[in-house]
Amino acid sequence: MADKCHLCLLGLIFLSSLLTGSSGVDDAHVFISSGENVRLPCNNALHDCKSTTWIYNRFSQSETVELIGLGIKKKNTERHERLSLGSDCSLNIKNVTKEDYGSYICRQYVNDKQQGNDARVYLHVLRVSSSQTEISAGHSVTLSCQLYSYTGVSCDDWIRSEGIHLFWVNQAGDKLINSDSRYQISAPDHCISTLTTTLLNEDHNREWRCEVTQVKTSVTYTVRYSGSSGVDDAHVFISSGENVRLPCNNALHDCKSTTWIYNRFSQSETVELIGLGIKKKNTERHERLSLGSDCSLNIKNVTKEDYGSYICRQYVNDKQQGNDARVYLHVLRVSSSQTEISAGHSVTLSCQLYSYTGVSCDDWIRSEGIHLFWVNQAGDKLINSDSRYQISAPDHCISTLTTTLLNEDHNREWRCEVTQVKTSVTYTVRYSGEKQTFITYFQKTL
């Protein structure tokens, strides 16, 4: 479990090159951290998935493996249990490992003849690790951050050609550099970065984050000193419409002792979702829930109503074992009430964080010193002093952006971000007649 190895990973997803109106099928790039679940889009799917074949290879000299053949999952692959085909013919991979990186091709066949072009997805896996077994004040720790990636050339060649690199930031978001005597940072190549520091007493529960420039991908290492007692609360941030995994950090050797309990706020009724490893059928979201092999709770197609407090509890012979493991689920959602999206019209985007941690979202986010804000496609923060934008915040968990659309705004993105936790949701303008799209860039487990 993560608390035993002192790691806390962020899973962050970014899809690129999905350009409306361009000819052919563009390659997609998906970034994910190891241990998370991921969805690889099939951008050439036909009306059903019986024509869909998914093919994989890790690098140019590796053997090509057929994972899905004409809509049917192959059973002779080593990761058979972790794969599934989505209703939109996407390829879903549970509990991603560093070995899952590489090239995935979605191909369509009808009557044994290939239809159209391949749709290729490159999966990049980001992982942070430490070889130290003794994590305590006074000891030196070395963190290694590595991007596992192949796009036809080596990861080092590709990341260098794209002009992106790995770097480390502290909990406040400040970039760490070698000129600070606390840290020694090295980069054996462009896809690996190591951070070495001597731990202080106040470093317990402190985070250091490895980031990837441009694609806004990062992994966090949270210090857990050896011998610390209890089970820390976890915070998971997700956007509506995505799938999420809630970790059970007190799981025993199997899940027959595991019970998951939920409530949305202090006055709401407590609901048992999983009882001793068995999913309850009398809950309204029964179909969207499943229990992971590690006793985690998986929720498909998250809605804003899913936010709240989730408790993983262990029972043996009707007696509770150990402490509860609590997970707070925070759901970020961006929306617009306008039906007419076109140049010359005003559009108002509303970004809201649905959150409860024992107090209201507004009280909690204010006490944590975090807030919502908007950035443009270049990553520049939008402010009211720019006459194009009117930004308001009815409370700390809601932010609205109003602007009059220009001709060049078609396919432009505005992103709502949450400080410190690096969570954001992007609104991409699609003028009327085009599909409006919401893209989730980040999801985080603290």
pLDDT in tens, the chain (446 residues): 333 333 222 333 233 322 223 334 578 888 888 888 889 999 888 888 999 999 998 876 678 899 999 999 988 777 878 999 998 999 999 988 888 999 999 999 999 899 889 999 999 888 888 877 667 778 888 888 899 988 888 888 888 887 778 888 887 778 888 877 889 999 888 889 999 988 887 777 778 888 877 555 556 555 554 444 445 678 888 888 888 999 998 888 789 999 999 988 766 788 999 999 999 887 778 889 999 988 999 999 999 999 999 999 999 998 998 888 999 999 888 888 777 777 888 888 888 999 888 778 888 887 777 778 888 877 788 888 778 889 998 888 899 999 888 888 877 788 888 775 545 555 554 544 433 333 333 333 33
pLDDT at 13: 29
The CATH topology of domain 234-330 is Immunoglobulin-like (2.60.40)
> Structural domain boundaries of the chain?
1-229, 234-330, 332-445
CA distance 307 to 327: 10
What does each C-alpha distance from 299 to 46, 58, 90, 230 come to in angstroms? 27, 29, 17, 26
SS3 readout for the chain? CHHHHCCCCCCECCECCCCCCCCCCCCEEEEEECCCCEEECCCCCCCCCCCEEEEEECCCCCCCEEEEECCEECCCCCCHHHEEECCCCCEEECCCCHHHCEEEEEEEEECCEEEEEEEEEEEEEEEEEECCCCCCCCCEEEEEEEEECCCCCCHHHHHHHCCCCEEEECCCCCECCCCCCCEEEEEEECCEEEEEEECCHHHCCCEEEEEECCCCEEEEEECCCCCCCCCCCEEEEEECCCCEEECCCCCCCCCCCEEEEEECCCCCCCEEEEECCEECCCCCCHHHEEECCCCCEEECCCCHHHCEEEEEEEEECCEEEEEEEEEEEEEEEEEECCCCCCCCCEEEEEEEEECCCCCCHHHHHHHCCCCEEEECCCCCECCCCCCCCEEEEEECCEEEEEEECCHHHCCCEEEEEECCCCEEEEEECCCCCCCCEEEECECEEC
Residue 424: its pLDDT value, please? 54
Fold of 1-229: Immunoglobulin-like (2.60.40)
Which pLDDT score is estimated for 228?
A: 43
Query: What pLDDT does residue 297 have?
Result: 95
Residue owning tokens 């595991």: 258
Q: Which CATH class is domain 332-445?
A: mainly beta
pTM value is 0.48
> Are the folds of 1-229 and 332-445 the same?
yes
